[in-house]
Amino acid sequence: MLIDGFLDELWSTSGLSDNTLSAYRSDLRYLTLFLASHQTPLAKALKADVRAYLEWRQQAGFAKSSSARVLSALKRFYGYLLAKSLINHDPCAELKSVKVGQRLPETLSEHDVERLLAEPDTEDTLECRDQAMLELLYATGLRVTELVRLTMDQISLRQGVVRVVGKGGKERLVPMGEVAMAALARYLSHARTLLLGASQSDIVFPSSRGQMMTRQTFWHRIKLYARRANVHPELSPHTLRHAFATHLLNHGADLRVVQLLLGHSSLSTTQIYTHVAKLRLAQLHQAHHPRG
- Type of residue at 213: M
**Helix, strand, or coil here: 123?**
coil
More confident residue, 290 or 88: 88
Dist CA 135 CA 179 (whole Å): 7
Mean residue pLDDT of the chain comes to 80
Among 95, 81, 83, 2, residue whose Cα is nearest residue 47: 95
Are residues 222 and 116 located together in one domain of the fold? yes
Are residues 69 and 197 located together in one domain of the fold? no
Domain boundary among 83, 102, 131: 83
Band (pLDDT 50/70/90 cuts) for residue 23 is confident
Are residues 221 and 258 located together in one domain of the fold? yes
Domain contains 241: yes
Are residues 126 and 229 located together in one domain of the fold? yes
Are residues 79 and 176 located together in one domain of the fold? no
Band (pLDDT 50/70/90 cuts) for residue 99 is low
Residues 117-137: what's their mean pLDDT?
Answer: 93
pLDDT by residue (tens digit) across 163-194? 987 776 777 888 888 998 999 999 999 999 99
Are residues 129 and 168 located together in one domain of the fold? yes
Range of the domain at 176: 110-288
pLDDT by residue (tens digit) across 50-78? 888 888 887 777 776 677 788 888 888 89
pLDDT of 132 higher than 90: yes
Domain contains 202: yes
Residues 241-246: what's their mean pLDDT?
Answer: 73
Residue 10 pLDDT: 82
Q: Which helix (H) or strand (E) holds 207?
A: none
What percent of the chain is modeled with pLDDT above 90? 19
Are residues 212 and 278 located together in one domain of the fold? yes
Dist CA 280 CA 206 (whole Å): 36
pLDDT of 289 higher than 80: no
Residue 231 pLDDT: 83
Are residues 48 and 148 located together in one domain of the fold? no
Domain contains 184: yes
Q: CB neighbours of 98 closer than 8 A, spacing ≥ 6? A: 54, 64, 67, 68, 71
Number of domains in the chain: 2
Are residues 126 and 248 located together in one domain of the fold? yes
Are residues 235 and 278 located together in one domain of the fold? yes
Domain contains 142: yes
The residues carrying an active-site annotation are 143, 167, 238, 241, 264, 273
CA diameter of the chain: 69
Q: Which of left, alpha, beta for 47 (phi over 0: left; psi -120 to 50: alpha)?
A: alpha
Are residues 134 and 46 located together in one domain of the fold? no
Are residues 59 and 142 located together in one domain of the fold? no
Q: Which of 105-109, 250-254, 263-267 has the lowest mean pLDDT?
A: 263-267
Instruction: Provide the edge-to-edge strand list for the sheet that holds 155-156.
Output: 155-156, 161-165, 171-175
Q: CB neighbours of 1 closer than 8 A, spacing ≥ 6? A: none
pLDDT by residue (tens digit) across 210-232? 889 988 888 889 889 989 988 87
What percent of the chain is modeled with pLDDT above 70? 77
- CATH number of the domain bearing residue 209: 1.10.443.10
pLDDT by residue (tens digit) across 192-202? 999 998 888 99
